[in-house]
Chains A and B, each alone.
Chain A
Amino acid sequence: AQSVSQHNHHVILSEAASLELGCNYSYGGTVNLFWYVQYPGQHLQLLLKYFSGDPLVKGIKGFEAEFIKSKFSFNLRKPSVQWSDTAEYFCAVNPRGAAGNKLTFGGGTRVLVKP
């Protein structure tokens, strides 16, 4: 079975600082990779996804993530955060070609951006 690890449980940073959240997965086959975000009081929503092709993917709100196959990693980055980026971020995978699209999530990282 696949598993997903997010190394940072809590991150606190100031506005304009750069953000990088780590995500590693464990799975023997090919996976689709995702980052979801949950803003305070809001639904979980998709931030970006990787299926194939260019390993550097860009998502909404200036976020990007890089898939490094050799490291089984899919780290999320944003060069300059804003107070509105305060949220909980979840990395997720699902095996490519598997019946259904059920997701395996990491434990989440709570990000607090101080104004």
Chain B
Amino acid sequence: GAGVSQSPSNKVTEKGKDVELRCDPISGHTALYWYRQSLGQGLEFLIYFQGNSAPDKSGLPSDRFSAERTGGSVSTLTIQRTQQEDSAVYLCASSLDLAGAYNEQFFGPGTRLTVL
């Protein structure tokens, strides 16, 4: 079946512009995660959506970052007023959300963001 998909695969933007990154999770996965992979910082957790619960935003680096998940499926990560330090690969992952179990996260291919 289809895996996690992300778009665009590459995004080049100018400093100060806003960008939107999209994630389509695996059908039926109710949990969705955003991570960032950057030089010098490794892979960092950003935000987590679980069903209809309030998202865990504890990893968002600043208030310029926000994310939505509409209809419990597609998610959009928005970065406002981009800065050069936002340049990174943004990874999305999805999983089942079975209580009392670890639910393997399946990762998408990522969006490579370059801020000039």
Q: A103: which B residues are within 8 A, CB to CB?
A: 33, 35, 43, 45, 105
Question: How close is B13's CB to chain A, nearest CB, in angstroms?
Answer: 23
Give Cα distance in the complex from A32 to B95, angstroms.
16
Q: B104: which A residues are within 8 A, CB to CB?
A: 46, 49
Residue count of chain B within 8 Å CB distance of chain A: 25
Does any Cβ of A come within 8 Å of B71's Cβ?
A: no
Contact at A90–B43, with CB atoms within 8 Å? yes
Q: A102-B45, A104-B45, A105-B42 are in contact. Are A43 and B107 (CB under 8 A)?
A: yes
Select from chain B the residue with minimum beta-carbon distance to A41.
B109
Contact at B31–A108, with CB atoms within 8 Å? no
Q: B108: which A residues are within 8 A, CB to CB?
A: 43
Give Cα distance in the complex from A99 to B110, angstroms.
25
Does any Cβ of A come within 8 Å of B90's Cβ?
A: no
Chain A, 8-63, CB within 8 A of any chain B CB: 32, 43-46, 49, 51
Question: How close is A28's CB to chain B, nearest CB, in angstroms?
Answer: 18
Residue count of chain A within 8 Å CB distance of chain B: 20
Give Cα distance in the complex from A106 to B107, angstroms.
17
Chain B, 84-115, CB within 8 A of any chain A CB: 91, 93, 95, 102-110
| Most B Cβ at <10 Å: residue of A49, A51, A90, A103 | A103
For the complex of A and B, list the 7 residue pairs with the smallest distance between their C-beta atoms, beginning with the closest: A105-B43, A44-B107, A107-B42, A102-B45, A100-B48, A43-B107, A102-B48
A-B contact pairs, 25 of them (CB 8 A): A32-B102, A43-B4, A43-B109, A44-B91, A44-B107, A46-B105, A49-B104, A90-B43, A92-B43, A94-B102, A99-B56, A100-B48, A100-B56, A101-B31, A101-B33, A101-B102, A101-B103, A102-B33, A102-B45, A102-B56, A103-B105, A105-B35, A106-B42, A107-B42, A108-B42
